[in-house]
Amino acid sequence: MILLSAVEENYLKYIFQLSEISDKGIVKTNDLAYKLEHSAASVTDMLKKLSDKKLVAYKKYYGVSLTKTGLQIAVQVLRKHRLWETFLVKNLKFTWDQVHAIAEQLEHIQSDELIDRMDEYLGHPKFDPHGDPIPDKQGVFSSANVICLADAKLKKQYLLANVNDESSAFLKYLNKIQLKLNDKIKILDKEEFDETIQIMINEKKQMTISKDAAQNMFVKVV
Amino acid sequence: MILLSAVEENYLKYIFQLSEISDKGIVKTNDLAYKLEHSAASVTDMLKKLSDKKLVAYKKYYGVSLTKTGLQIAVQVLRKHRLWETFLVKNLKFTWDQVHAIAEQLEHIQSDELIDRMDEYLGHPKFDPHGDPIPDKQGVFSSANVICLADAKLKKQYLLANVNDESSAFLKYLNKIQLKLNDKIKILDKEEFDETIQIMINEKKQMTISKDAAQNMFVKVV
DNA sequence: TTTAAAATTTAGGCTAATCTAAAAATAATA
DNA sequence: TATTATTTTTAGATTAGCCTAAATTTTAAA
């Protein structure tokens, strides 16, 4: 069990996030410096340390990528971040925009037992309140191409792919409005004021969906 | 709003705890060093820094006490610690001997909003799983009328209200003898020779309690 | 009351994580 | 290709928070 500082964990997390949108998973020093809001010199410094610990593969003037160990740690930090965000929104009723800063702190709490029990407590959610996938204990993300219904685009055709909330209240609600997994959903309108959404289900039934409900539904593009 | 490091918060917390069992609230450098498991020299160093920040009143070779500001912060750290412990035991089903180390980390998460919502979520608990009082947002503790089991009277009915020692060894011992907070305790006999105590638990189970154990248990009169 | 022991502070040093300024390497342009 | 601009690294410094060893102050004992 490797114990890392919160700072080191953050480096790994950001390298992971940048590597996902970069060429061949190679992250540039300056991009990392910008993300971390540190000087490029500090980043170079830390990259050498992480390289010594075999958490990253670093080549001078070229860039950095995660090793297998570094990747595993980065993914677990992301898992913790997203589980905490889920807890903050679902249980403590924070709004999605309030939780990031707090989760940035909570993600560095060191206790596997804690995060396992939190995962259990939340009902093993697969997506966080922003619709980002939550990797499981083994680091496996559930299917990509799924977005939160709250973030879905107007006029496009989707299929209901996943629900985040396993509470009986929410499932009963879905039952009542007769919405099931793999039903077709098209967004007719989004109301800016209260963020409710007008949807068409299976090309025949029109419904108004609350912001809360939409945030718990995940759809994939047809 | 003063932002302190986790290290500084810990100093204030331990000064508070030691001042409660000390003469006139004056804490000695060595006692603090022992509690923090740091060298006395490090403690002197930090006391000077905390003194500069007006969080403690520090007099060389004499001792340290909290200022009004320092006290307020210490009590809020304690509040966070105890609310988190309550959450870990009540909601995540940890046993009370597992939670201390995790709460030591969680107590330093910086967010008033978070702790307010957690307090609300837990239903404004007044005591934590160890029976320690949880100060409210204003820093006010609710006091129970508790006495040490070692000082309790023969033949009287008590409830186990609090334990002094949060070491995992002691809490495991309580688990083993199946003694929990709010269990009924009646003192059947006190042995003068070694100061062991015969107690009846919940009117059905008889036990012998050592002097050491009894000094770590606190009971309230029914 | 003098001396020995204990507690505390001072002095000097170390590591992690940051910084700025200058140097070096790479990329872009004339 | 030569020169300039950009990116990255190196060098040297700083701060927080710790340490050990030595010096100082306080307390206890003879």
Q: To the nearest whole angstrom, how far is the Cα of A90 from the nearest Cα of chain B?
A: 11
Nucleotides of D strand lying within 7 Å of any protein CB atom: 7-12, 16-22, 25-26
> B14 CA to D25 C1', in Å?
25
Rounded-to-integer distance, Cα A187 and Cα A156, Å: 6
Give B181-222 as a DSSP string: TT-EEEEEEE-TTT--EEEEETTTEEEEE-HHHHTTEEEEE-
Check B94 against A106: CB less than 8 A apart: no
Considering the four listed CATH numbers 3.40.50.1000, 1.10.10.10, 3.30.420.40, 3.30.1360.120, the one that applies to the domain covering A6-66 is 1.10.10.10
- What's the average model confidence in pLDDT over B73-99? 95
Domain boundaries, chain B: 6-66, 146-221
Among candidates B93, B105, B106 on the partner chain, residue whose Cβ is nearest the Cβ of A117: B93
B117 shares contact with chain A (CB less than 8 Å) = yes
B104 burial type by CB count under 10 A (0-12 exposed, 13-18 middle, 19+ buried): middle
Q: What is the pTM of this model?
A: 0.78
Closest nucleotide relative to residue A40's CA, C1' based: D8
Check A109 against B106: CB less than 8 A apart: yes
Query: Residue B125: which pLDDT band, with cuts at 50, 70 and 90?
Result: confident
Check A109 against B102: CB less than 8 A apart: yes
Among candidates B102, B113, B117 on the partner chain, residue whose Cβ is nearest the Cβ of A114: B102
Encode chain A (222 residues) as per-residue pLDDT tens digits: 789 999 999 999 999 999 999 888 899 999 999 999 999 999 999 999 999 999 999 999 999 999 999 999 999 999 999 999 999 999 999 986 788 899 999 999 999 999 999 999 999 998 887 768 899 999 998 766 778 898 888 888 998 877 777 666 787 888 888 888 778 999 999 888 898 999 999 999 999 999 988 988 888 887
Amino acid A164: pLDDT: 72
* Amino acid in position A156: K
B112 shares contact with chain A (CB less than 8 Å) = no
A92 shares contact with chain B (CB less than 8 Å) = yes
With beta carbons less than 8 A apart as the criterion, state whether A159 and A222 touch.
yes
- What's the average model confidence in pLDDT over B72-87? 98
CATH topology of domain B146-221: SH3 type barrels. (2.30.30)
Tell me which chain A residues have a C-beta less than 8 angstroms from the C-beta of B117: 92-94
B91 shares contact with chain A (CB less than 8 Å) = yes
Amino acid A143: pLDDT: 67
Fold matches, A6-66 and A146-221? no
